[in-house]
Chain A
Amino acid sequence: MNIPYYPGCTLNTNAKDLQQCAEYSAQALGFSMVELTDWNCCGASLPLTDNSSMGYAGPANVLINAKEEGTKEGNEDKLTTLCAVCYNVLKRTNYAFNNDNNKLDTVNSLLETDYKGDTNVLHYLEVLRDEIGYDKVKEKVTTQLKGLKVAPYYGCFLLRPHNEVGLDDPYSPTIFEGLLETLGCEVVDFSHKGECCGSYSAMTNPENVANCSFGVVESAVAAGADIIATTCPLCQFNLDGNQVKQKSHFGDLDEMPIIYFTQLLSIALGKDINSISFDSNSISPLPLLKEKGFV
């Protein structure tokens, strides 16, 4: 099964390793991620205001390219992405195109070809759950992550706004939990699984990000988790980096390693841990993984 894949700026550069883990996992599960031949930045956030048609043009272009790719021989007519922000932007663009004729016309007038709002966007988690099936994933697991208490962190962009993006129920989601259980992890429910990490205000207001990230990490610690699994490279960066850079906000809190979901998935599917790069982690998860016997 060949599924068109949209990397987005981050997964293709700074977070390339996270993508590699996803590709390894795809191979292990019997599908391949076909990178779009032509793509551009999604914009990294969709404008919240009505007044920005340009903001929709970038993602619309991506979706047009995806549709082209998806209708090629041998490819699934879908698009998948690993980045929560890209997912959010693409889904919301689809929603706008399907529900607002004015926007549809205005944005299409800025593009070379018209976009009809018909590209089917799936997050990688949805591919695993719906296209592959968690049962099949379970079969391919070579290293059961037994005894690892994982707090699944969704952040904002996968869950909100629910009617436009709606990956899962915003207060009792199960898609990420289901995957982690399939990998053998012990899933820890914690109150801040959908609360904001501080996001891109890291650029101008690092204090704010520290506050938000602290809230998330602290609630995971209180719930008894060993590690937090993230679904967005920025959440990964914020939750991990701030524990070291803004230590004053974190006080005496035990350091909690943060790992990206594709890294965890690939380890369970047998990827050699030495081939996974934790260089960009401020707190390396390696000691914990060694302790639990996965290395």
Chain B
Amino acid sequence: MSRTGVFVCHCGTNISATVDVVKVAEEMKNQPGVVYTEDYKFMCSAPGQGKLKEIIEENKLDSVVIAACSPHMHEKTFRNASEAAGLNAFKVEMANIREQCSWVHPDKAEGTVKSLDLTKKMIEKVRNNEELEKITMPVTKRALIVGGGIAGIQAALDIAASGTEVVIVEKSSSLGGHMIQLSETFPTLDCSQCIMTPKMVEASLNPNIKIYTYAEVEALDGFVGNFRLRIRKKAKSVIEDECTGCGICIEKCPKKVPNPFEMGLGMTKSISVPFPQAVPNVPVIDRDSCIYYKTGKCRVCEKVCGPKCIDFEQKDEIIYEDVGAIVVATGYDTMPLDKFGEYGYGKFKDVIDGLTFERMASAAGYTAGEIQRPSDGKVPETVVFIQCVGSRDESKGVSYCSKICCMYSAKHTMLYRHKVHHGKAHVFYMDIRAGGKNYEEFVRRAIEEDGAQYHRGRVSRVYEREGKLIVKGADTISGKPLTIEADMVVLATAMTARKGADKLAQTLGISYDKYQFYSESHPKLRPVETNTAGIFLAGACQGPKDVPESVAQGSAAASKVLGLLSQETLQREPITAEVNEANCIACFDCLNICPYGAITSKEIKDRDGNLIKEVAEVNPGVCMGCGLCNAACRSKTIELRGFLDSQIFAEINSLAA
């Protein structure tokens, strides 16, 4: 016979105002197996918990029901307190008589009756509960970061500072992401390369950080604390360890191609580094354009290479890395503009996008920082900046706000006006979103000190007339259309998820939203965690954001990683599924329905190694206890510990009685 204790909480007046808690406590004395009941003002308080421990010990209780708030609030609290008193945590249950009763039923008589039922029900459940032990697993004390932009680098530096080994896997041939493409950053107008390259170099010199560039994650096996990643190092056609970065191969290469780093407007060679400060400073041959790979001729780079590190036969390399935690920091792309024919992007050379303007303004860019029209190289006298291109546009773009465009458009007007003193800068905006520290002041500076003209209204169309761009916009404050003749138009295109973000998410087993931004575990309280244990997020891959936020998230993700890896073993809640191997017919409905990939097939063999049968097997390390397998299983062969059918039916029978 069980020895159950029942505690009914007043929760101040939160519960006692609409439930007669004294009566509930009294009535429970009559329930089978109940040896102690008490009502108390605040069970979760220190004295409340102290009382709980005391009563458990004194009365040798083997199970406890606390009729109070939602388990979401305090199940952990009471389970920890009970454990301290020597009771197994899973012999403690809560009856929710607050959120599900006192807060929704104003009639005290009704509320009390319902509370009696709810409490009785949990008593029946807890009597059937098993003692469960937390699952322990080993932890590999290494971390891996997917993405070598500012968020990824920050996370790597913070993790490495603790002495933990970190691997960065970066898709392009250098660290830097998009931030290294920027000219200056708001709100300080710091030169982007000047603040970022020291971090890139720091990462490359840190003995705890291993960097793979021109590499991608192909597959993920394992679970939190025990991940194994398969990484493909694409062939650079250069032997990385021997390259000195002298750059002669690039100089002598005869094949010019448009430079994607310069947004296609500057040229580079088939063998190149994306920019002079690349980390690692090792060039890569673009096999699609290289003369040798296309025709078999040339090989000039090989001839001039001092250390003889050109290797045309080089193949992709597959590498495996074992880590305990992963941070995804893959960054963003900008919205393709093919649906925005009204702005003439692609048709008119002098209509460019935000990133192109950054490269133009950058002192290290293809114009050495001079603002020039792409069509004829002349300095534009009037530039129109159009905000919200693609963002806040349900019909052709995305409905969300891209967050950074108001700030960088203001920045663009300032950079333009600083370089072209007589130039006119016009901005068409819908709203100004400048919520960060010193952001509003920055925008006002653009208007009041640097003379940018702001017009509240969107642009309907841009077309060309005799070498000028006619911008047909509106000023909604005066309610009139407004046409401006411009020499150049800069479109503030929306930040979007990276192309292929969905594939990576599927490889890693993390969720993403309809825009393919990766989903955080809780939008307010858990912004850098995913619902997949051991995998964290940082930066724009989670949603549009600026540099300070990306850096903050990088550090936040690092702290989560270090918290995870600082433990000797990982403990997990034992609310996991378990298969009754005798009954299992291996239909694998459970395996197919499991969203976490926690179920695999297992072969049961006899002593001689002959196969008897296959059954499903649950990996308790990965299982999140969602219960879908239990619902799917036709023979109820797979059950959820802590929520066994017998326990649930005990609850149902109690209510039905």
List residues of A whose CB falls within 8 A of some B CB. Answer: 169-172, 191, 219, 222
User: Is B470 at the interface (CB under 8 A from chain A)?
Assistant: yes
* Residue pair B465, A171 in contact (C-beta under 8 Å): no
Q: How many A-B residue pairs have CB under 8 A?
A: 16
Q: Mark B421-454, 1 if CB is under 8 A from A, else 0.
A: 0000000000000000000000000000000000
* Residue pair B341, A191 in contact (C-beta under 8 Å): no
* Residue pair B466, A222 in contact (C-beta under 8 Å): yes
* Residue pair A171, B464 in contact (C-beta under 8 Å): no
B339 nearest CB across to chain A (Å): 10
In the assembly, what is the distance between CA of A191 and CA of B465, in Å?
7
* Residue pair B466, A171 in contact (C-beta under 8 Å): no
- Residues in B whose Cβ lies below 8 Å from that of A169: 341
B465 nearest CB across to chain A (Å): 6
In the assembly, what is the distance between CA of A219 and CA of B344, in Å?
17
User: Is B342 at the interface (CB under 8 A from chain A)?
Assistant: yes
User: Is B526 at the interface (CB under 8 A from chain A)?
Assistant: no
In the assembly, what is the distance between CA of A6 and CA of B342, in Å?
33
User: A192's closest neighbor in chain B, by CB?
Assistant: B463
A172 nearest CB across to chain B (Å): 6
Q: Which of B347, B465, B466 has the most CB of A within 10 A?
A: B465
User: B466's closest neighbor in chain A, by CB?
Assistant: A222
Size category of the B interface is under 10
- Residues in A whose Cβ lies below 8 Å from that of B344: 171
Given contacts A171-B347, A191-B465, 6 further A-B contacts (CB under 8 A): A169-B341, A171-B341, A172-B341, A191-B470, A219-B465, A222-B465
In the assembly, what is the distance between CA of A172 and CA of B341, in Å?
7
* Residue pair A170, B341 in contact (C-beta under 8 Å): yes
In the assembly, what is the distance between CA of A170 and CA of B338, in Å?
12
> CB within 8 Å of A: which of B464-482?
464-466, 470
In the assembly, what is the distance between CA of A170 and CA of B347, in Å?
13
- Residues in A whose Cβ lies below 8 Å from that of B464: 191
In the assembly, what is the distance between CA of A169 and CA of B463, in Å?
15
User: B344's closest neighbor in chain A, by CB?
Assistant: A171
> CB within 8 Å of A: which of B323-348?
341-342, 344, 347
- Residues in B whose Cβ lies below 8 Å from that of A172: 341, 347
List residues of B whose CB falls within 8 A of some A CB. Answer: 341-342, 344, 347, 463-466, 470
- Residues in A whose Cβ lies below 8 Å from that of B465: 191, 219, 222
* Residue pair A191, B466 in contact (C-beta under 8 Å): no
- Residues in A whose Cβ lies below 8 Å from that of B470: 191
Q: Which of A169, A172, A191, A219 has the most CB of B within 10 A?
A: A191
| 6 pairs of residues in contact across A and B, judged by CB atoms under 8 Å | A170-B342, A171-B344, A191-B463, A191-B464, A219-B465, A222-B465
User: B341's closest neighbor in chain A, by CB?
Assistant: A171
User: A171's closest neighbor in chain B, by CB?
Assistant: B341
- Residues in A whose Cβ lies below 8 Å from that of B347: 171-172
B615 nearest CB across to chain A (Å): 50
B466 nearest CB across to chain A (Å): 7
In the assembly, what is the distance between CA of A169 and CA of B342, in Å?
11
- Residues in B whose Cβ lies below 8 Å from that of A171: 341-342, 344, 347
In the assembly, what is the distance between CA of A169 and CA of B470, in Å?
20
- Residues in B whose Cβ lies below 8 Å from that of A222: 465-466
B11 nearest CB across to chain A (Å): 51
In the assembly, what is the distance between CA of A223 and CA of B465, in Å?
8
In the assembly, what is the distance between CA of A171 and CA of B342, in Å?
6
- Residues in B whose Cβ lies below 8 Å from that of A170: 341-342
B24 nearest CB across to chain A (Å): 54
B462 nearest CB across to chain A (Å): 10
In the assembly, what is the distance between CA of A171 and CA of B465, in Å?
15
- Residues in A whose Cβ lies below 8 Å from that of B341: 169-172
User: A163's closest neighbor in chain B, by CB?
Assistant: B395
B625 nearest CB across to chain A (Å): 44
A65 nearest CB across to chain B (Å): 35
User: B342's closest neighbor in chain A, by CB?
Assistant: A171
A194 nearest CB across to chain B (Å): 9
Q: Which of B344, B463, B464 has the most CB of A within 10 A?
A: B463
> Which 5 A-B pairs give the minimum distances between C-beta atoms?
A171-B341, A191-B463, A171-B342, A172-B341, A191-B465
